[in-house]
Amino acid sequence: MHNRLIVFTETVVTSVTPKKAFEAAEECLIEIRVVESRKEAANWIYEYEVKGEIEKIEKFRERIESLRIFE
């Protein structure tokens, strides 16, 4: 019997910089790419597409949220 890996793709929009987001993605063992970056008011907003197992994506979202709080 084969264990199938179910991979999800989600969009994450945040003010966390690409450097920090890519480090968090590496820690969480998911794939990431920058889809769009734009400046709103005085802040940059980044749209990322992340891909991986749902538990790992959830861990990434939590990590990104904690990084955003400290910016």
Q: Where are the domains of the chain?
A: 11-48
What confidence score (pLDDT) does residue 57 get?
A: 97
Q: Which residues of 2-14 are buried (b: 16+ CB within 10 A; e: fewer)?
A: eeeeeeeeeebeb
List pLDDT tens digits, range 24-60: 999 999 999 999 999 998 899 999 999 999 999 999 9
The identity of residue 63, as a single letter, is R
Give the predicted TM-score (pTM) of the model: 0.86
Strand order through the sheet with 43-52: 8-14, 43-52, 31-40
Does pLDDT of 62 surpass 70? yes
Q: What is the mean pLDDT of residues 6-10?
A: 93
